[in-house]
Amino acid sequence: MAGPLRRRLPLLPLLPLLLLAAGGLRAAERSGGSSSAMEELATEKEAEESHRQDSVSLLTFILLLTLTILTIWLFKHRRVRFLHETGLAMIYGLIVGVILRYGTPSTSGHDKPFSCSQEDRPFTTLLVNVSGKFFEYTLKGEISPGKIHNVEQNDMLRKVTFDPEVFFNILLPPIIFHAGYSLKKRHFFRNLGSILAYAFLGTAVSCFIIGNLMYGVVKLMKLVGQLSDKFYYTDCLLFGAIISATDPVTVLAIFNELHADVDLYALLFGESVLNDAVAIVLSSSIVAYQPTGENTHAFDAAAFFKSVGVFLGIFSGSFMMGAVTGVVTALVTKFTKLHCFPLLETALFFLMSWSTFLLAEACGFTGVVAVLFCGITQAHYTYNNLSVESRSRTKQLFEVLHFLAENFIFSYMGLALFTFQKHIFSPVFIIGAFVAIFLGRAAHIYPLSFLLNLGRRHKISWSFQHMMMFSGLRGAMAFALAIRDTATYSHQMMFSTTLLIVFFTVWIVGGGTTPMLSWLNIRVGVDPDQDPPPTNDSFQVLQGDGQDSARRNRTKQESAWLFRLWYSFDHNYLKPILTHSGPPLTTTLPSWCGLIARCLTSPQVYDNQEQLREEDSDFILNDGDLTVTYGDTTITANGSSGPHTATTNLDSRRTKSSSEEALEHDLGAADHEVTSRGTRLVFPLEYNA
């Protein structure tokens, strides 16, 4: 036994060491576990702090909107018109931006730059190995070497700086859809030719004039040494497209409040609605301009025509997508019983309308164009199929969303002046931009108005042209287009300049709308259903010069010829197919289509003795449609006349009775009255007893 015991004795001194080693391992495990627990706790605290800051940033904007609404009420109560609600939102945004910029301390440490010299391009997502743990980082943009130590260290300012996609995917759709859904069709279509000319041709002219003038300004800046980085000709054209997007929301709000001339309102509103769509497609086409040579910014005919093709393809594709979505919604609401469940009906309408924007963007088209024409299609077809509750709900829903989104964007504009970290303000570029915008707007309005007046019955007067020139404000669309890409030096300068232009036009130009209306002697307090005063040719009809005079005037309606061509097909075929209104298809389709006609025609068409009112038909006059009343004498378009007891037009709508006219006569309101398919057009004339 002694031998084995002696052989084990040398191991006895090692036992304390083994025990110490085992204890050390257990201590290291406990230390590692506690370190991991501390890291998890720190991560949870950071996540909680980030959540709190997100809530504070959203609460800031909600309080801004609340304060704006209360101030708007005060202004409306006091009848203050020198500052619009969007201008108020911008002022409050500026105040909050100053507080956040200079009143909140930095809350995060400086970031440490790492070098990746082996890579020749940036990665969207980066995985960093820190002590065996991998952390994911996302790309936020390029930082110039001179500003590497000026990266924003205030977490709160980072939180209130939104991703540009938020504007395009969340805030813009309700604004654009509401513009199409609330369109006053009869005034819009009456001026359709002029609106299309201003929106398409005028925007293109403005874009190229501004772009070329700004290219000269850039050359001047380079000559005097105020240009520190590259600024190409295509960048100037892109700036021209961005800043050509007009948004006269302030002017139109004042027009609506004062009931300004309906034709002027229609021209400005129609131009601004389509102008936004044209501007965004035009900017996409300019970005797609890629010459094949070594100089990627030189003029290339092939690349130019490719950009034109991109413009036409994107616009037409977006238009078709919006129209098809509206048609599908109309068919669903017509051939289902959704009207029995107004909540489901409203929810489906909302989702189909909003999805149009996202569907177009996902397919490579432009969501702004798609959702605009979806709104127009929904208002023209789907609206007629909705229940009474859903009609009211959809109108109010999109009106509220439009109001909140628009004021949110203008509040953010004021905030961005102090929170945006990549501002580049160049006095020469800013002054040149204001001059270029003025000249581009003048070349947009006056030459086109001259050409349009050659074919218009009701001319666009000089006062209208001056007001349209004055009303070329820039707003939400220009800001959204400019902030979408601020990665380069040129785009950062364009964004800062666009921001200042929006401030100036909303505050100065918007505030001067009421004095300008007075100075130009433009009519206010006009009934929206009242037409412009008649020309001398119209007085010949009223004076009863006979059948020849009536025939000379009845074919020159105010509605655009393009709309008159479209109306017949729409009224006879599309409206009966897609809605519960219009003539039965059994009366418009050939007899061999009887089965299809009966399947597609709604039973309500046969049940209703009086069709749903066709708002678009107010200016489509045919033989016998025109009825003129003077005193107790009725003169029709075929020259017949007689005592006026009750006159019925083609739609079986009665005009005012003789007792009503007698009352107007007693009140001194002996007006000439024209009845055209149920719409009264009152022309005040001096009454001679």
Over residues 69-85, the pLDDT tens digits come to 999 898 888 877 777 78
Over residues 302-327, the pLDDT tens digits come to 777 888 888 999 999 999 999 999 99
pLDDT of residue 466: 94
The CA distance from 470 to 517, in Å, is 10
Work out the average pLDDT over 264-274.
89
Instruction: Give me the percent of the chain exceeding a pLDDT of 90.
Output: 31
- DSSP string for residues in 433-452: HHHHHHHHHHHHHHHHHHHH
Over residues 156-194, the pLDDT tens digits come to 666 777 778 888 888 889 999 998 998 877 788 888 889
Specify the length of the chain in residues.
Answer: 689
Over residues 326-374, the pLDDT tens digits come to 999 999 999 888 989 999 999 999 999 999 999 999 998 999 999 999 9
pLDDT of residue 648: 39
Instruction: Give me the percent of the chain exceeding a pLDDT of 70.
Output: 69
pLDDT of residue 147: 56
Taking CB atoms within 8 Å and a gap of at least 24, the contacts of 303-307 are: none
Higher pLDDT, 638 or 340: 340
Cα Rg of the chain, angstroms: 33
Over residues 527-564, the pLDDT tens digits come to 665 555 554 433 333 333 444 444 334 334 445 566 67
Higher pLDDT, 44 or 501: 501
Identify the DSSP state of 648: B
pLDDT at 624 over 50: no
- Tokens standing for residue 401: 């969303």
Which band of pLDDT confidence, cut at 50, 70 and 90, is reported for residue 8? very low
Q: Give me the torsion for CA of 514, 188, 270, 405, rounded to 10°.
A: 80
pLDDT at 415 over 60: yes
pLDDT of residue 677: 37
Which band of pLDDT confidence, cut at 50, 70 and 90, is reported for residue 395? very high
The CA distance from 530 to 93, in Å, is 40
Work out the average pLDDT over 378-399.
93
pLDDT of residue 376: 93
Q: What is the mean pLDDT of the chain?
A: 76
The answer to whether residues 641 and 634 touch, using CB atoms and an 8 Å cutoff, is yes
User: Measuring CA to CA, which residue among 187, 155, 363 is closest to residue 262?
Assistant: 187
Which band of pLDDT confidence, cut at 50, 70 and 90, is reported for residue 112? low
User: Measuring CA to CA, which residue among 269, 298, 263, 304 is closest to residue 285?
Assistant: 304
Work out the average pLDDT over 88-115.
76
The answer to whether residues 460 and 257 touch, using CB atoms and an 8 Å cutoff, is no
Over residues 482-510, the pLDDT tens digits come to 998 888 899 999 999 999 999 998 888 88
Work out the average pLDDT over 624-633.
41
E strand or H helix that includes residue 125: strand 125-130
Angle (nearest 5°) at CA 172 between 232 and 487:
30
pTM of the model: 0.75
The CA distance from 274 to 269, in Å, is 9
3-state secondary structure 231-298: CCHHHHHHHHHHHCCECCHHHHHHHHHHCCCHHHHHHHHHHHHHHHHHHHHHHHHHHCCCCCCCCCCC
Give the helix ranges, DSSP H, for 454-546: 462-470, 476-483, 489-504, 510-511, 513-519, 536-542
Work out the average pLDDT over 405-424.
89
The answer to whether residues 460 and 450 touch, using CB atoms and an 8 Å cutoff, is no
Over residues 418-433, the pLDDT tens digits come to 888 888 999 999 999 9
Work out the average pLDDT over 654-666.
38
- Tokens standing for residue 299: 């003029």
Work out the average pLDDT over 632-659.
41
pLDDT of residue 377: 94
pLDDT at 656 over 50: no
